[in-house]
Amino acid sequence: MHVSIFGTGYVGLVTGACLAEVGNDVVCVDIDSDKIDALNHGRVPIYEPGLTPIVASNREAGRLHFTTDAAEAVARAEIIFIAVGTPPDEDGSADLQYVLAVADTIGRHLQRPAVIVDKSTVPVGTADRVRAAIASALAERGVQIAFEVVANPEFLKEGAAVEDCMRPDRIVIGASSDDAVERLRRLYAPFNRSHDRIVTMDVRSAELTKYAANAMLATKISFMNEIANIAEKVGADVESVRQGIGSDPRIGRHFIYPGAGYGGSCFPKDVQALARTALHHGHTPVLLQAVEAVNERQKSHLFDLLVQHYCGIDTLRGKTFAVWGLAFKPDTDDMREAPSRRLLQQLQDAGARVRAYDPEAMDEMRRVFGERDDLLLCDSAEHALQGADALVLVTEWKQFRSPDFAALRDVLADAAIFDGRNVYAPEMVEEAGLAYYGIGRGRSVLAG
Ligand code: UDX
Protein backbone atom coordinates (compact mmCIF):
# COMPACT_ATOMS: atom_id res chain seq x y z
CA MET A 1 0.00 0.00 0.00
CA HIS A 2 1.10 3.59 -0.52
CA VAL A 3 1.37 5.22 2.87
CA SER A 4 2.48 8.72 3.81
CA ILE A 5 3.26 9.76 7.36
CA PHE A 6 3.42 13.33 8.62
CA GLY A 7 5.84 13.76 11.52
CA THR A 8 9.13 11.88 11.95
CA GLY A 9 9.22 11.85 15.75
CA TYR A 10 9.08 8.62 17.77
CA VAL A 11 5.64 7.65 16.60
CA GLY A 12 5.90 8.66 12.95
CA LEU A 13 9.38 7.33 12.33
CA VAL A 14 8.83 4.01 14.07
CA THR A 15 5.45 3.49 12.40
CA GLY A 16 6.92 4.37 9.01
CA ALA A 17 9.89 2.04 9.39
CA CYS A 18 7.71 -0.85 10.59
CA LEU A 19 5.14 -0.40 7.81
CA ALA A 20 7.97 -0.37 5.24
CA GLU A 21 9.49 -3.45 6.87
CA VAL A 22 6.33 -5.46 6.07
CA GLY A 23 6.36 -4.38 2.42
CA ASN A 24 4.50 -1.08 2.15
CA ASP A 25 5.79 1.88 0.19
CA VAL A 26 6.17 4.59 2.83
CA VAL A 27 6.96 8.29 2.60
CA CYS A 28 7.78 10.12 5.84
CA VAL A 29 7.29 13.88 5.72
CA ASP A 30 8.59 16.52 8.08
CA ILE A 31 8.87 20.30 7.92
CA ASP A 32 12.28 20.07 9.63
CA SER A 33 14.65 19.87 6.66
CA ASP A 34 17.68 19.13 8.87
CA LYS A 35 15.94 16.08 10.22
CA ILE A 36 14.94 14.89 6.76
CA ASP A 37 18.46 15.53 5.53
CA ALA A 38 19.91 13.49 8.40
CA LEU A 39 17.48 10.63 7.72
CA ASN A 40 18.36 10.70 4.02
CA HIS A 41 21.98 10.25 5.03
CA GLY A 42 21.12 7.28 7.22
CA ARG A 43 21.26 9.15 10.53
CA VAL A 44 18.38 8.34 12.85
CA PRO A 45 17.88 11.33 15.17
CA ILE A 46 16.62 9.33 18.18
CA TYR A 47 18.05 6.43 20.13
CA GLU A 48 15.62 3.58 19.82
CA PRO A 49 16.73 -0.08 19.89
CA GLY A 50 16.33 -1.80 16.51
CA LEU A 51 15.26 1.32 14.63
CA THR A 52 18.45 2.27 12.79
CA PRO A 53 18.84 -1.11 11.01
CA ILE A 54 15.26 -1.22 9.72
CA VAL A 55 15.42 2.40 8.59
CA ALA A 56 18.65 1.59 6.70
CA SER A 57 17.48 -1.66 5.10
CA ASN A 58 14.12 -0.26 3.99
CA ARG A 59 15.71 2.87 2.57
CA GLU A 60 18.08 0.68 0.60
CA ALA A 61 15.18 -1.46 -0.59
CA GLY A 62 13.45 1.71 -1.82
CA ARG A 63 10.41 1.22 0.40
CA LEU A 64 11.08 4.07 2.86
CA HIS A 65 11.55 7.66 1.76
CA PHE A 66 12.05 10.92 3.64
CA THR A 67 10.97 14.25 2.26
CA THR A 68 9.82 17.76 3.08
CA ASP A 69 7.61 17.72 -0.02
CA ALA A 70 4.13 17.50 1.50
CA ALA A 71 2.29 17.94 -1.81
CA GLU A 72 3.89 14.89 -3.39
CA ALA A 73 3.46 12.83 -0.22
CA VAL A 74 -0.27 13.59 -0.05
CA ALA A 75 -0.90 13.11 -3.75
CA ARG A 76 0.49 9.57 -3.90
CA ALA A 77 -0.96 8.08 -0.71
CA GLU A 78 -4.05 5.97 -0.12
CA ILE A 79 -3.46 6.10 3.64
CA ILE A 80 -2.09 9.25 5.31
CA PHE A 81 -0.98 9.22 8.93
CA ILE A 82 -0.85 12.31 11.10
CA ALA A 83 1.86 11.69 13.71
CA VAL A 84 3.00 15.19 14.60
CA GLY A 85 3.43 16.46 18.14
CA THR A 86 0.66 17.69 20.42
CA PRO A 87 2.65 19.57 23.06
CA PRO A 88 0.85 21.07 26.05
CA ASP A 89 -0.08 24.72 25.71
CA GLU A 90 0.00 27.13 28.70
CA ASP A 91 -3.01 25.62 30.44
CA GLY A 92 -2.05 21.98 29.86
CA SER A 93 -4.46 21.38 26.96
CA ALA A 94 -3.03 19.61 23.91
CA ASP A 95 -1.92 22.17 21.35
CA LEU A 96 -3.43 21.09 18.04
CA GLN A 97 -1.81 23.64 15.76
CA TYR A 98 0.54 21.11 14.15
CA VAL A 99 -2.18 18.51 13.66
CA LEU A 100 -4.53 21.06 12.08
CA ALA A 101 -1.76 22.48 9.89
CA VAL A 102 -1.20 18.97 8.50
CA ALA A 103 -4.95 18.59 7.97
CA ASP A 104 -4.95 21.80 5.96
CA THR A 105 -1.95 20.60 3.93
CA ILE A 106 -3.76 17.34 3.19
CA GLY A 107 -6.83 19.24 2.01
CA ARG A 108 -4.74 21.45 -0.24
CA HIS A 109 -2.98 18.57 -1.96
CA LEU A 110 -5.32 15.57 -1.89
CA GLN A 111 -5.73 14.08 -5.38
CA ARG A 112 -7.37 10.71 -4.71
CA PRO A 113 -9.68 9.18 -2.09
CA ALA A 114 -7.75 8.44 1.09
CA VAL A 115 -8.08 7.39 4.69
CA ILE A 116 -6.56 9.95 7.05
CA VAL A 117 -5.32 8.37 10.27
CA ASP A 118 -4.86 10.35 13.47
CA LYS A 119 -1.99 8.65 15.28
CA SER A 120 -0.98 11.61 17.41
CA THR A 121 -2.47 11.62 20.90
CA VAL A 122 -5.32 14.04 20.42
CA PRO A 123 -8.22 15.16 22.59
CA VAL A 124 -11.67 13.78 21.98
CA GLY A 125 -13.28 15.61 19.08
CA THR A 126 -10.04 16.22 17.15
CA ALA A 127 -11.00 13.92 14.28
CA ASP A 128 -14.00 16.18 13.70
CA ARG A 129 -11.73 19.21 13.55
CA VAL A 130 -9.28 17.45 11.23
CA ARG A 131 -12.19 16.47 8.97
CA ALA A 132 -13.46 20.05 8.94
CA ALA A 133 -10.00 21.46 8.13
CA ILE A 134 -9.53 19.06 5.21
CA ALA A 135 -13.05 19.69 3.93
CA SER A 136 -12.57 23.43 4.04
CA ALA A 137 -9.26 23.26 2.14
CA LEU A 138 -10.88 21.02 -0.47
CA ALA A 139 -13.81 23.44 -0.76
CA GLU A 140 -11.39 26.30 -1.35
CA ARG A 141 -9.95 24.34 -4.25
CA GLY A 142 -13.48 23.66 -5.46
CA VAL A 143 -12.90 19.91 -5.64
CA GLN A 144 -14.70 16.95 -4.13
CA ILE A 145 -12.60 13.97 -3.10
CA ALA A 146 -13.84 11.27 -0.72
CA PHE A 147 -11.85 10.91 2.51
CA GLU A 148 -12.42 9.58 6.00
CA VAL A 149 -10.68 10.50 9.24
CA VAL A 150 -9.91 7.58 11.52
CA ALA A 151 -8.56 7.59 15.10
CA ASN A 152 -5.84 4.98 15.54
CA PRO A 153 -3.84 5.84 18.65
CA GLU A 154 -0.32 4.51 19.17
CA PHE A 155 0.63 2.66 22.33
CA LEU A 156 4.35 2.31 21.78
CA LYS A 157 6.81 2.65 24.64
CA GLU A 158 10.09 4.46 24.15
CA GLY A 159 12.94 1.97 24.30
CA ALA A 160 10.66 -0.81 23.01
CA ALA A 161 8.95 1.13 20.24
CA VAL A 162 9.92 -1.11 17.32
CA GLU A 163 8.95 -4.23 19.23
CA ASP A 164 5.63 -2.66 20.30
CA CYS A 165 4.90 -1.66 16.73
CA MET A 166 5.76 -5.05 15.23
CA ARG A 167 3.99 -6.99 17.98
CA PRO A 168 1.24 -4.75 19.34
CA ASP A 169 -0.95 -6.02 22.16
CA ARG A 170 -3.90 -4.19 20.60
CA ILE A 171 -4.67 -2.08 17.57
CA VAL A 172 -7.44 0.40 18.31
CA ILE A 173 -9.35 1.67 15.28
CA GLY A 174 -12.03 4.29 15.71
CA ALA A 175 -13.88 4.78 12.43
CA SER A 176 -17.30 5.62 11.13
CA SER A 177 -17.31 3.35 8.09
CA ASP A 178 -16.65 -0.35 7.49
CA ASP A 179 -14.61 0.57 4.45
CA ALA A 180 -12.03 2.52 6.49
CA VAL A 181 -11.81 -0.26 9.08
CA GLU A 182 -11.27 -2.77 6.30
CA ARG A 183 -8.43 -0.74 4.78
CA LEU A 184 -6.66 -0.46 8.10
CA ARG A 185 -7.24 -4.15 8.77
CA ARG A 186 -5.39 -4.88 5.54
CA LEU A 187 -2.57 -2.50 6.43
CA TYR A 188 -2.15 -4.03 9.88
CA ALA A 189 -2.64 -7.67 8.83
CA PRO A 190 1.11 -8.49 9.09
CA PHE A 191 1.08 -7.34 12.73
CA ASN A 192 -2.14 -9.16 13.54
CA ARG A 193 -1.26 -12.78 12.96
CA SER A 194 -1.68 -15.20 15.85
CA HIS A 195 -4.94 -13.76 17.18
CA ASP A 196 -7.09 -10.74 16.36
CA ARG A 197 -5.68 -7.73 18.15
CA ILE A 198 -7.88 -5.22 16.40
CA VAL A 199 -10.47 -3.46 18.54
CA THR A 200 -12.88 -1.35 16.53
CA MET A 201 -15.03 1.41 17.97
CA ASP A 202 -16.39 4.86 17.25
CA VAL A 203 -13.92 7.69 16.69
CA ARG A 204 -14.43 9.48 20.00
CA SER A 205 -14.04 6.31 22.06
CA ALA A 206 -10.76 5.57 20.27
CA GLU A 207 -9.51 9.07 21.05
CA LEU A 208 -10.43 8.67 24.71
CA THR A 209 -8.94 5.15 24.88
CA LYS A 210 -5.43 6.50 24.42
CA TYR A 211 -5.80 9.00 27.25
CA ALA A 212 -7.50 6.47 29.48
CA ALA A 213 -4.64 3.99 28.99
CA ASN A 214 -1.93 6.49 29.85
CA ALA A 215 -3.91 7.98 32.73
CA MET A 216 -4.50 4.51 34.18
CA LEU A 217 -0.79 3.67 34.01
CA ALA A 218 0.15 7.02 35.55
CA THR A 219 -2.42 6.38 38.28
CA LYS A 220 -0.82 3.03 39.12
CA ILE A 221 2.55 4.71 39.51
CA SER A 222 1.29 7.60 41.61
CA PHE A 223 -0.69 5.17 43.75
CA MET A 224 2.46 3.14 44.45
CA ASN A 225 4.47 6.26 45.15
CA GLU A 226 1.80 7.27 47.66
CA ILE A 227 1.97 3.85 49.32
CA ALA A 228 5.79 4.11 49.31
CA ASN A 229 5.65 7.40 51.16
CA ILE A 230 3.28 5.92 53.71
CA ALA A 231 5.58 2.88 54.04
CA GLU A 232 8.48 5.19 54.75
CA LYS A 233 6.56 6.87 57.55
CA VAL A 234 5.32 3.68 59.19
CA GLY A 235 8.55 1.72 58.86
CA ALA A 236 7.36 -0.78 56.22
CA ASP A 237 9.16 -1.82 53.01
CA VAL A 238 7.13 -0.96 49.91
CA GLU A 239 9.03 -3.61 47.94
CA SER A 240 7.43 -6.31 50.08
CA VAL A 241 4.08 -4.57 49.77
CA ARG A 242 4.50 -4.42 45.97
CA GLN A 243 5.08 -8.15 45.77
CA GLY A 244 2.24 -8.77 48.19
CA ILE A 245 -0.31 -6.90 46.13
CA GLY A 246 1.07 -7.68 42.66
CA SER A 247 0.42 -11.39 43.04
CA ASP A 248 -3.32 -10.61 42.95
CA PRO A 249 -4.10 -10.90 39.22
CA ARG A 250 -6.71 -8.16 39.52
CA ILE A 251 -3.89 -5.80 40.49
CA GLY A 252 -1.06 -7.31 38.46
CA ARG A 253 2.70 -7.11 38.78
CA HIS A 254 3.31 -4.53 36.06
CA PHE A 255 3.66 -0.81 36.51
CA ILE A 256 3.55 -0.77 40.28
CA TYR A 257 7.19 0.14 40.80
CA PRO A 258 7.62 3.16 43.06
CA GLY A 259 10.39 5.54 42.10
CA ALA A 260 11.47 9.09 41.45
CA GLY A 261 8.20 9.90 39.65
CA TYR A 262 7.05 9.30 36.11
CA GLY A 263 8.41 11.43 33.27
CA GLY A 264 8.63 11.28 29.51
CA SER A 265 6.75 12.80 26.65
CA CYS A 266 3.44 11.09 27.36
CA PHE A 267 2.26 10.60 30.93
CA PRO A 268 2.74 14.14 32.29
CA LYS A 269 1.29 15.73 29.16
CA ASP A 270 -1.58 13.28 28.70
CA VAL A 271 -2.75 13.30 32.32
CA GLN A 272 -2.84 17.09 32.17
CA ALA A 273 -4.57 17.19 28.81
CA LEU A 274 -7.24 14.71 29.92
CA ALA A 275 -7.83 16.77 33.06
CA ARG A 276 -8.24 19.88 30.89
CA THR A 277 -10.70 18.08 28.63
CA ALA A 278 -12.71 17.01 31.68
CA LEU A 279 -12.77 20.54 33.07
CA HIS A 280 -13.70 21.91 29.68
CA HIS A 281 -16.74 19.64 29.71
CA GLY A 282 -17.73 20.64 33.24
CA HIS A 283 -16.30 17.63 35.10
CA THR A 284 -13.74 18.08 37.87
CA PRO A 285 -11.19 15.27 37.43
CA VAL A 286 -10.37 14.84 41.13
CA LEU A 287 -8.42 11.61 40.66
CA LEU A 288 -6.34 12.87 37.72
CA GLN A 289 -5.45 16.02 39.61
CA ALA A 290 -4.25 13.90 42.52
CA VAL A 291 -2.22 11.64 40.21
CA GLU A 292 -0.41 14.70 38.90
CA ALA A 293 0.05 16.27 42.35
CA VAL A 294 1.54 13.04 43.76
CA ASN A 295 3.95 12.85 40.83
CA GLU A 296 5.05 16.45 41.23
CA ARG A 297 5.81 15.82 44.89
CA GLN A 298 7.55 12.53 44.09
CA LYS A 299 10.01 14.22 41.76
CA SER A 300 11.37 16.04 44.82
CA HIS A 301 11.54 12.95 46.98
CA LEU A 302 15.16 12.01 46.32
CA PHE A 303 16.22 15.52 47.22
CA ASP A 304 14.13 15.33 50.40
CA LEU A 305 15.99 12.13 51.33
CA LEU A 306 19.31 13.89 50.81
CA VAL A 307 18.20 16.77 53.01
CA GLN A 308 17.08 14.27 55.64
CA HIS A 309 20.40 12.39 55.58
CA TYR A 310 22.45 15.56 55.76
CA CYS A 311 20.20 17.01 58.48
CA GLY A 312 19.26 20.12 56.56
CA ILE A 313 19.57 21.79 53.21
CA ASP A 314 22.52 24.02 54.20
CA THR A 315 24.83 21.04 54.67
CA LEU A 316 24.44 20.18 50.99
CA ARG A 317 26.39 23.27 49.98
CA GLY A 318 29.80 22.25 48.65
CA LYS A 319 28.95 18.52 48.67
CA THR A 320 29.48 16.52 45.47
CA PHE A 321 26.93 13.97 44.29
CA ALA A 322 27.44 11.31 41.67
CA VAL A 323 24.18 10.96 39.73
CA TRP A 324 23.66 7.75 37.74
CA GLY A 325 20.94 7.82 35.11
CA LEU A 326 19.45 10.97 33.62
CA ALA A 327 17.01 9.85 30.91
CA PHE A 328 13.39 9.59 32.07
CA LYS A 329 13.73 5.80 31.94
CA PRO A 330 16.31 3.24 30.75
CA ASP A 331 16.93 2.47 27.05
CA THR A 332 16.21 5.96 25.83
CA ASP A 333 18.11 9.22 25.55
CA ASP A 334 14.92 11.17 26.20
CA MET A 335 15.16 13.72 29.00
CA ARG A 336 11.68 15.20 28.60
CA GLU A 337 10.10 15.67 32.06
CA ALA A 338 12.83 13.42 33.48
CA PRO A 339 12.87 13.38 37.32
CA SER A 340 16.66 13.89 37.11
CA ARG A 341 16.05 17.43 35.89
CA ARG A 342 14.24 18.38 39.08
CA LEU A 343 16.95 16.79 41.24
CA LEU A 344 19.76 18.52 39.36
CA GLN A 345 17.98 21.85 39.69
CA GLN A 346 17.44 21.36 43.42
CA LEU A 347 21.07 20.37 43.96
CA GLN A 348 22.22 23.41 42.04
CA ASP A 349 19.94 25.67 44.09
CA ALA A 350 21.35 24.13 47.26
CA GLY A 351 24.93 24.89 46.17
CA ALA A 352 25.93 21.22 45.66
CA ARG A 353 28.07 19.88 42.83
CA VAL A 354 27.03 17.05 40.53
CA ARG A 355 28.99 14.48 38.55
CA ALA A 356 26.43 13.03 36.17
CA TYR A 357 26.45 10.01 33.88
CA ASP A 358 23.90 8.34 31.62
CA PRO A 359 24.69 5.64 29.04
CA GLU A 360 22.73 7.41 26.25
CA ALA A 361 21.50 10.83 27.37
CA MET A 362 24.77 12.78 27.65
CA ASP A 363 24.20 14.73 24.43
CA GLU A 364 20.67 15.56 25.52
CA MET A 365 22.05 16.59 28.92
CA ARG A 366 24.50 18.94 27.25
CA ARG A 367 21.68 20.42 25.18
CA VAL A 368 19.37 20.85 28.20
CA PHE A 369 21.85 22.08 30.84
CA GLY A 370 24.76 23.43 28.79
CA GLU A 371 28.18 23.83 30.39
CA ARG A 372 28.03 24.63 34.10
CA ASP A 373 30.74 24.81 36.73
CA ASP A 374 28.76 22.84 39.27
CA LEU A 375 27.77 20.08 36.84
CA LEU A 376 30.34 17.73 35.38
CA LEU A 377 29.15 15.46 32.60
CA CYS A 378 31.14 12.25 33.00
CA ASP A 379 32.27 9.56 30.54
CA SER A 380 31.37 6.58 32.66
CA ALA A 381 29.65 5.50 35.85
CA GLU A 382 33.06 5.14 37.54
CA HIS A 383 34.18 8.56 36.41
CA ALA A 384 31.05 10.06 38.02
CA LEU A 385 32.03 8.52 41.36
CA GLN A 386 35.50 10.09 41.55
CA GLY A 387 35.57 12.69 44.30
CA ALA A 388 31.86 12.24 45.09
CA ASP A 389 30.47 12.26 48.61
CA ALA A 390 27.42 10.12 47.86
CA LEU A 391 25.72 8.33 44.95
CA VAL A 392 22.19 9.01 43.72
CA LEU A 393 20.65 6.54 41.27
CA VAL A 394 17.83 8.16 39.30
CA THR A 395 17.34 5.91 36.23
CA GLU A 396 17.64 2.14 36.50
CA TRP A 397 19.84 1.27 33.50
CA LYS A 398 20.93 -2.39 33.65
CA GLN A 399 24.61 -1.47 33.88
CA PHE A 400 24.00 0.24 37.26
CA ARG A 401 22.33 -2.78 38.81
CA SER A 402 25.17 -4.63 40.48
CA PRO A 403 28.01 -2.34 41.44
CA ASP A 404 30.83 -3.42 43.72
CA PHE A 405 29.50 -1.98 46.98
CA ALA A 406 32.82 -2.33 48.80
CA ALA A 407 34.48 -0.26 46.09
CA LEU A 408 31.67 2.28 46.34
CA ARG A 409 32.23 2.57 50.08
CA ASP A 410 35.91 3.28 49.48
CA VAL A 411 35.28 5.94 46.88
CA LEU A 412 32.25 7.77 48.33
CA ALA A 413 33.43 10.12 51.09
CA ASP A 414 30.12 10.03 52.97
CA ALA A 415 29.46 6.36 52.17
CA ALA A 416 25.80 6.78 51.24
CA ILE A 417 23.59 5.57 48.39
CA PHE A 418 20.25 7.10 47.44
CA ASP A 419 18.44 4.57 45.31
CA GLY A 420 15.63 6.31 43.42
CA ARG A 421 14.40 3.07 41.81
CA ASN A 422 14.81 0.50 44.58
CA VAL A 423 17.21 -1.61 42.52
CA TYR A 424 19.61 -2.48 45.33
CA ALA A 425 19.12 -4.85 48.24
CA PRO A 426 19.40 -2.63 51.35
CA GLU A 427 21.10 -5.43 53.35
CA MET A 428 23.89 -5.79 50.78
CA VAL A 429 24.52 -2.07 50.71
CA GLU A 430 24.51 -1.77 54.50
CA GLU A 431 26.71 -4.84 54.95
CA ALA A 432 29.29 -3.13 52.75
CA GLY A 433 29.24 -0.23 55.18
CA LEU A 434 27.18 2.26 53.22
CA ALA A 435 24.04 4.06 54.34
CA TYR A 436 21.11 3.09 52.11
CA TYR A 437 18.07 5.14 51.20
CA GLY A 438 15.42 3.74 48.87
CA ILE A 439 11.92 4.87 48.00
CA GLY A 440 9.44 3.75 50.65
CA ARG A 441 11.68 1.19 52.27
CA GLY A 442 11.61 2.39 55.83
CA ARG A 443 15.41 2.12 55.91
CA SER A 444 16.32 5.74 55.81
CA VAL A 445 15.50 5.96 59.50
CA LEU A 446 17.97 3.14 60.27
CA ALA A 447 20.63 4.49 57.93
CA GLY A 448 20.52 8.13 58.87
C1 UDX B 1 4.06 5.51 27.79
C2 UDX B 1 3.09 4.34 27.65
O3 UDX B 1 3.61 3.19 28.31
C4 UDX B 1 2.85 4.03 26.19
O5 UDX B 1 1.88 3.00 26.06
C6 UDX B 1 2.34 5.29 25.51
O7 UDX B 1 2.13 5.08 24.14
C8 UDX B 1 3.30 6.45 25.73
O9 UDX B 1 3.54 6.62 27.11
P10 UDX B 1 6.71 5.88 27.65
O11 UDX B 1 6.46 7.34 27.86
O12 UDX B 1 7.68 5.46 26.61
O13 UDX B 1 5.33 5.15 27.25
O14 UDX B 1 7.20 5.31 29.03
P15 UDX B 1 6.85 4.13 30.07
O16 UDX B 1 7.74 2.99 29.86
O17 UDX B 1 5.41 3.83 30.08
O18 UDX B 1 7.31 4.86 31.44
C19 UDX B 1 6.76 6.11 31.83
C20 UDX B 1 7.34 6.57 33.14
O21 UDX B 1 6.81 5.84 34.23
C22 UDX B 1 8.86 6.47 33.27
O23 UDX B 1 9.35 7.67 33.85
C24 UDX B 1 9.06 5.30 34.22
O25 UDX B 1 10.26 5.39 34.95
C26 UDX B 1 7.85 5.44 35.11
N27 UDX B 1 7.44 4.18 35.75
C28 UDX B 1 6.99 3.14 34.99
C29 UDX B 1 7.48 4.07 37.15
O30 UDX B 1 7.88 5.00 37.86
N31 UDX B 1 7.03 2.90 37.72
C32 UDX B 1 6.56 1.85 36.99
O33 UDX B 1 6.16 0.85 37.60
C34 UDX B 1 6.54 1.97 35.58
Identify the residue whose C-alpha is closest to ligand 1 atom 13.
Answer: 157
What's 124's DSSP letter? T
Look at the chain and report how many structural domains it folds into.
3
Decide if 206 is inside a domain: no
Mean pLDDT along residues 339-366: 96
Query: Is the same domain home to 77 and 194?
Result: yes
Which residue is closest in CA terms to ligand 1's atom 9? Answer: 266
DSSP 8-state code for residue 156: P
Gap from CA of 16 to ligand 1 centroid (Å): 22
Q: What is the mean pLDDT of residues 125-143?
A: 97
Single residue among 296, 313, 342 that ends a domain in this structure: 296
| CATH number of the domain within which 171 lies | 3.40.50.720
Predicted pLDDT of residue 442: 76
Q: Distance between CA atoms of 104 and 90, rounded to whole angstroms?
A: 24
Q: Label residue 22 by pLDDT band (50, 70, 90).
A: very high
pLDDT band at 446 (very low <50, low <70, confident <90, very high): very low
Choose, from 18, 28, 165, 266, the residue flagged as catalytic: 266
Sign for the pseudo-dihedral over CA of 44, 115, 164, 400:
positive
How many Å lie between the centroid of ligand 1 and the Cα of residue 433? 34
- On the 0-12 / 13-18 / 19+ scale of CB atoms within 10 A, 261 is buried
Band (pLDDT 50/70/90 cuts) for residue 372 is confident
* 77 found inside a domain: yes
Given a cut of 60, whether residue 447 has pLDDT beyond it is no
Mean predicted lDDT score pLDDT of the chain: 95
Task: Identify whether residues 57 and 21 lie together within a single domain.
Answer: yes
My answer on whether 167 and 42 are in the same domain is yes
- What mean pLDDT is predicted for residues 323-343? 96
- Of all residues in the chain, the percent with pLDDT exceeding 90 is 92
Interhelix angle for 286-298 vs 267-280, to 10°?
Answer: 150
pLDDT band at 443 (very low <50, low <70, confident <90, very high): low
Q: What is the pLDDT of residues 278-309, one digit of tens each?
A: 999 999 999 999 999 999 999 999 999 999 99
Q: Which residues pair with 393 in a beta bridge?
A: 324, 419
Span 236-256, mean pLDDT? 96
pLDDT of res. 371: 79
- Give yes or no for residue 109 having a pLDDT over 80: yes
- Residue closest by Cα to atom 5 of ligand 1: 155
- 342 lies in which domain range? 299-447
Does one domain contain both 159 and 292?
no
Judge whether residue 261 has pLDDT over 80.
Answer: yes
Q: Does one domain contain both 308 and 194?
A: no
- With b for 16 or more beta-carbon neighbours within 10 A and e for fewer, the 422-441 pattern comes to bbbebeebbebebbbbbbbb
| Band (47; pLDDT cuts 50, 70, 90) | confident
Pair 242, 258: CB distance under 8 Å: yes
C-alpha of residue 255 to centroid of ligand 1, in Å? 8
Average pLDDT over residues 95-111: 97
Ligand 1 centre to CA of 227 (Å) is 19
Same domain, 194 and 87: yes
Query: Coil, strand or helix: which one is 221?
Result: helix
Same-domain pairing of 216 and 194: no
For residue 448, pLDDT beyond 60: no
Quick one: pLDDT at residue 88?
A: 86
Closest-lying ligand 1 atom to the alpha carbon of residue 157: 12
Same domain as 423, residue 363: yes
Supply the DSSP string of 388-406, one letter for each residue. -SEEEE-S--GGGSS--HH
In this structure, the answer to whether residues 275 and 303 fall within a common structural domain is: no
Say if residue 75 is in the same domain as residue 126.
Answer: yes
Task: Say whether both 308 and 291 belong to one domain.
Answer: no
What are the pocket residues of ligand 1 if the criterion is a CB atom closer than 6 Å to any ligand atom?
154-158, 214, 217, 221, 255-257, 259, 262-264, 266-267, 328-329
**Predicted TM-score (pTM) of this structure:** 0.92
ipTM: 0.91
Asked if the model's pLDDT at residue 252 lies above 60, the reply is yes
Active site residue 311: no
Of 272, 296, 320, which residue sits at a domain end?
296
Most ligand 1 atoms within 8 A of CB, residue of 221, 222, 343, 396 to mutate: 221
* C-alpha–C-alpha distance, residues 329 and 264, integer Å: 8
